[in-house]
Amino acid sequence: MAAIETASGAHAMGAVKVHDHWSSRIGFIIAAVGSAVGLGNIWKFPYMVGQSGGAAFVLVYLGCIALIGLPIIIAEWLIGRRGQKNPINTMAEVARANGRGRGWVLIGAGGTLAAFLILSFYSVIGGWALAYLAEAGAGSFTGIDKDSAATLFSGLLANPGRLLAWHSVFMLLTVGVVAMGVSTGLERATKLMMPALGVILLVMVGYGTTTGSFGAAVDYLFTPDWSKLDSGVVLAALGHAFFTLSLGMGVMIAYGSYLRQDIDLVRAAATVAVADTTIALTAGLAIFPIVFANGLDPSSGPGLVFVTLPLTFGKIAGGLVLGVLFFALLIFAALTSSISLLEPVVELLEERTPMGRIASSVVAGLATWALGIGALLSFNAWSDVLIFGQNIFDLLDKLTSKFMLPACGLGAIVFVAWFLDRESVRKDLDLGPVGFGIWNVLARYVAPAGVIAVFWGSL
Ligand code: TRP
């Protein structure tokens, strides 16, 4: 990520010059995994599985990752690497170089708006994780049962002051990192912390096997009841595939813009998708045994992780330390994602206004923070403020995941598959005839048709 820092510096000075590159292949992959793995995997995935009724959702989600998500990551990186600029200018540039119209910049612009909307509620959940880190440290999980776990969580939600305080801390941390420029330290820390998060999750899965409900959890996650499947579930699975891979809002276009020509996009994309999916499924295996062993409701929604995991930490040996470690790592994973959400907005302000990097970060942060207040009040004072029948939190979440991300991702894949010179794309992907054949089918037909069919079905 050191490369990104110099790159942004170059941005600040010379408007939109071609910028620097990632220091190494592994540095790039780590940054991409850092963006992808976050609250989406550990907080959002399990509760969406629960709300959608289990394995049918999981299998559709896996299909969306492989057949739609993967080609779109590759497409976004490919665009970014050609343009070598911020998402909006990159789209303008690559479209112009290929004799295509200005309209394609909408992909970059829509993405940047989505980033702003997502971060506002993402930071509220990051705040929950901070609050739970404090609870874990204070020993609140020792001897906790399912009722006290529920009370602990509902107490947090009912208290706008506490939510606001933690949301503010999370936003401050995000702005701090982005304002300073993304440092080498972060790359090194990510390299260490992501695997550590995986290990702690595995310990929790281990505990899950002793609850007597592990089999039920595996069944719930992997044995589909197709009667649970409807267009709403499919749209949720598609939206979540975009959310969890950080697609459809220019983040991956931006990351690709720092790439060198010699990186194997297909392999790198597969690495990111596999790492991301593994963490999400492991989180599911850690959470659902607790849900079933305690007779909790899998469809209880966004609080699921926060009322189940404390039960594990309360029972397991060394639970206090593990609890603290887990929430610290979760916050770290959330931060490596939230900085990737703030970055496009900051870059835009930096390049289009006279403000420098620090001022841009502060302004973008403040605007996001303010919108986040609307999201956090959805859980208490404004719970009955409904827009299109949704509270502000749900509206922000659904508008972005179910609509904006898939729409922008669709634009990216259609652009690469249909509007770029095919031979040059083959060179960029460096695939043999069979691989390129598969790419063509997925990118030209399967992925776009999939997104369109899901939109259509849900109208
Ligand atoms: N992928 C992250 C997660 O799962 C969230 C995220 C970061 C994101 N950057 C994004 C989602 C860009 C959509 C687009 O927690």
176-193 pLDDT, tens digit per residue, is 888 886 556 667 777 788
pLDDT per residue as tens digits for the range 212-242: 999 999 999 999 999 999 999 999 999 999 9
Q: What's the CA gap between 434 and 150, in Å, rounded?
A: 53
pLDDT mean across residues, the chain: 90
Q: How confident is the model at residue 8 (pLDDT cuts 50, 70, 90)?
A: very low
Ligand 1: atom nearest CA of 400 is 13
Ligand 1: atom nearest CA of 340 is 9
pLDDT per residue as tens digits for the range 312-351: 999 988 899 999 999 999 999 999 899 889 988 888 888 8
Select from 12, 19, 117 the least CA-distant residue to 353: 12
pTM score > 0.75 for this model?
Answer: yes
CA 204 to chain centre: 22
Q: What's the CA gap between 296 and 287, in Å, rounded?
A: 11
pLDDT per residue as tens digits for the range 108-134: 889 889 999 999 999 999 999 999 999
* CA-angle at 26, arms to 20 and 28, nearest 5°: 40
The three-class DSSP label of residue 387 is strand
Distance 36 CA to ligand 1 centre (A): 6
What is the length of the chain?
A: 459
The three-class DSSP label of residue 390 is strand
Helices (H), 14-65: 25-36, 39, 45-52, 55-64
pLDDT per residue as tens digits for the range 237-258: 999 999 999 999 888 988 888 8
Q: What's the CA gap between 342 and 196, in Å, rounded?
A: 25
In the chain, the amino acid numbered 363 is: V
Q: Can you read off the two tokens belonging to residue 52? A: 């959608």
Residue to mutate, 251, 335, 342, 368, ligand 1, most ligand atoms under 8 Å from C-beta: 251
Residue to mutate, 48, 65, 279, 341, ligand 1, most ligand atoms under 8 Å from C-beta: 341
- Count of CA atoms in the C-beta half-sphere (13 A) of 326: 26
Q: Report which protein residue has its CA nearest ligand 1's atom 12.
A: 246
301 and 391 in contact (C-beta within 8 Å)?
Answer: no
Ligand 1: atom nearest CA of 249 is 14
- Any bridge partners for residue 390, and if so which? 387
Q: What's the CA gap between 87 and 71, in Å, rounded?
A: 18
In the chain, the amino acid numbered 187 is: E
CA dihedral 351, 338, 40, 317 (to 10 degrees): 160
CA dihedral 64, 65, 70, 71 (to 10 degrees): 0
Exposed, middle or buried, 230 (CB in 10 Å: 0-12/13-18/19+)? middle
Select from 389, 396, 402 the least CA-distant residue to 458: 402
Q: Flag whether pLDDT at 7 surpasses 50.
A: no
- Ligand 1 pocket, residues with Cβ under 6 angstroms: 35-36, 38-41, 118, 243-244, 246, 249, 251, 337, 340-341, 405
Q: Report which protein residue has its CA nearest ligand 1's atom 10.
A: 246
